[in-house]
Amino acid sequence: MFDFLIEKAIVFLPLIAAIITGFADKRLGDRNAQLLTSGTMVLAALLSVWLFVQVGLNHKDAYVVPLFTWFASGDFAASWALRIDTLTAVMLVVVTVVSSIVHIYSAGYMADDKSIPRFQAYLSLFTFAMLMLVTADNLIQLFFGWEGVGLSSYLLIGFWYHKPSANAAAMKAFIVNRVGDFGFALGIFGAFLLTGSVAFSGETGVLEIARHVDADNPLPGILGMSFDTSIIVVTALLFMGAMGKSAQFLLHTWLPDAMEGPTPVSALIHAATMVTAGVFMVARLSPLFELAPLVLDFVTVIGALTAIFAATVGLTQFDIKRVIAYSTCSQLGYMFFAAGVGAYDAAVFHLMTHAFFKALLFLGAGSVIHAMHHEQDMRKMGGIWRKVPVTYAYMWIGSLALAGIGIPFLFGPAGFGFAGFYSKDAILEAAHAAHTLTGNFAFWAGITAAFLTAFYSGRLIFLTFHGETRADKHTFDHAHESPLVMVGPLVILAIGAVLAGGVAYPWFMEGGHHGYGDAGKHMKQATDGATFWAGSVVKDHDLIDKMHASAAWVKILPLVMAVSGLGLSAIFYLLMPNVPKQIAKTFAPIDIFFRRKWFFDEIYDFLFVRPIQSFGRFLWKAGDGSIIDRFGPNGVAGASQLLARFFSSMQTGYIYHYGFVMVAGLVAIITLFLFGSGFAGQLLSGGN
């Protein structure tokens, strides 16, 4: 009776809470809505941790929890089932833990909002959609969760719908993601045509088929193409979906605008849900992507470009949330180029550590905004660290983790440092160890981005908390620490930002590391079936060995760049605060280029938005107004009006007019009758 109850509870508890809270709304009350949604999320998080221990640490075999057959058509059937393996367990912990903290945090941050039940319901619905995505056992269910997080993000980004900017941001996120999702849907169709299946599990599942494809055993191509061409097309289309959902270069424009939503929404989107969906999808379908090296090279290049692009833009932003948003975009680039060089484990590792410190940064920023009476411009802050000491400490922890501060080789080959140090350095080592042209490009792009990341992280800290205050006197005098319900739960995120990397490194990055004694030797000798990942992602053991055998400078250089970036930001914004303005003035074209986000919004507006709006206006005015309405509803209405005017003009009010009409009508009727009966014809013929 209780088989698989835990797995079902993890997934459906947020949905139940969302339904109850959403439909009850004001009748439930603000406090009850917060208790219900937060309580169910905490319970789901605890169950997820237990499941992670069983599956990931105790090496329980992957299994599937069947729910029901979704639909069947002929020989094709898609079931709704929950796939539980290590990759799923990791994602469940990330999603539920971060979502739990966001739910609790929202009780304080949204205390004055008039629509608390609706907000809490949206958060839980968002979480449910992401849980459906990460537990999917087939591509159809994956797409359901994929679109679910898109819909939920639209509702949350535009939560304050009375703000035109929030409505515009929600619409932008929705439309840009539809572009990527169109490609993703085509990729799913192509995968089905190629493999004859949409399922993940079983010998006839997509993943198992992909694992057994080689030069001697290829699959038939689709649409007249060879197999090699077909797999390139299919995986490229699938990655197109990831580019939109995870805000990669070219389809990234929606992510910064998503800051129009409440800060807890930003934390949830950027840390644990929507933007990580693309990384998860590539990791889940890694056996399929391994068949398309050209596409993996493309993934590597796009990820590297995203990392460097977002980092340059983050240098010039003054909105505290937008700085952190561009850091998310940049870190997602790291994850993708890790996947591109074959280090899927490193990509998911960084996804996990990033969730902790990025949620910490966003919620810490929310605490700053709360303290500064909803001010988000860092130029109007400064000198507030004594006012908000707890938030200040959290922001330092998150920033140091983001910058990847740590000491290589300390306490072992893996070194010692904040969470981001382990995962980011693992990615850079993997890119260098790949020994490919795209891998080298990604490595140096990542090194450059590491310097820029540390610089703008320091810039955020120093502009916000240090120096002479630039806030107005009233705001500064009344600045205060956020309530316990907001800063208290952040302890868990802070612990994760400090310890998650070091604790999880031997689990995530096993297979060749010699720094963990007998455990490390065991992991090196183990097969995929006995290791932490247990085949849930493709592992390149040769690449891992090469990573750990990297030259010392490869391991030391990221730290040098990070420390240099932090140090330079301290010089610029603490010791020489006028220098950044002078540099921006001297290099005005570059500053404008970065500040305007490489002019992507303007270019897309010119190439796509305006032409589509003009075409739509033409269809509206010329098509709908001049043709359809003219000859359709408006034409009929106009004719009716003309007839009505004609007959109304005959209503004179004079009796003799009506009498004349009656006599004329009578004569007409008699005439018609006579001619119709043939009497008139006989009369004209002489009566014969």
β partners of residue 138: 199
Residues 6+ apart with CB under 8 A from 665: none
The rounded distance, in Å, linking the Cα atoms of 392 and 408 is: 27
What's the pLDDT tens digit per position in 57-95? 888 888 999 998 887 777 777 888 999 999 999 999 999
Per-residue pLDDT tens digits for 626-681: 676 666 666 666 777 777 777 777 777 777 777 877 888 888 888 887 776 665 55
How far is it, in rounded angstroms, from Cα 513 to Cα 232? 33
User: pTM value?
Assistant: 0.88
pLDDT band at 496 (very low <50, low <70, confident <90, very high): very high
Q: Which two tokens stand for residue 633?
A: 């509803």
Nearby residues of 274 by Cβ (< 8 Å), 6 or more positions away: 126, 130, 149, 150, 153, 245
Print burial letters for 371-401: b (CB count within 10 Å at least 16), e (below 16). bbeebbebebbbbbbebbebbbebbbbbbbb
Q: Is 530 left (phi over 0), alpha (psi -120 to 50) or beta?
A: alpha
Radius of gyration for the alpha carbons in the chain, expressed in angstroms and rounded:
32
Residue with tokens 């800060």: 263
Digit-coded pLDDT (tens) for 300-338: 999 999 999 999 999 999 999 999 999 999 999 999 999
Do the Cβ atoms of 196 and 204 come closer than 8 Å?
yes
Of 348, 324, 344, which Cα lies nearest the Cα of 403?
A: 324
327, 358 contact by CB (below 8 A): yes
CB-based burial, 165-196: b 16+ in 10 Å, e otherwise:
ebeebbebbbebbebbbebbbbbbebbbebbe
| CB contact at 8 A, 320 and 58 | no
Q: How confident is the model at residue 579 (pLDDT cuts 50, 70, 90)?
A: very high
User: What pLDDT, on the 0 to 100 scale, is given for residue 221?
Assistant: 84
CA nearest neighbour of 309 among 252, 239, 245, 378: 252
| Minimum mean pLDDT range among 155-164, 610-619, 640-649 | 640-649
d(CA 177, CA 160): 21
Model pLDDT for residues 93-137, shown as the tens digit of each residue:
999 999 999 999 999 999 888 999 999 999 999 999 999 999 999
Classify the C-alpha dihedral 209-213-217-218 as positive or negative.
positive
Is the pLDDT reported for residue 486 higher than 50? yes
The whole-number pLDDT of residue 212 equals 84
Over 90: is that where the pLDDT of 298 sits? yes
**Other beta carbons less than 10 A from residue 684's beta carbon:** 8
Nearest to 325 by CA among 269, 262, 397, 375: 269
pLDDT at 530 over 80: no
Q: Which two tokens stand for residue 319?
A: 């909105």
Alpha carbon 645 to its chain's center: 60
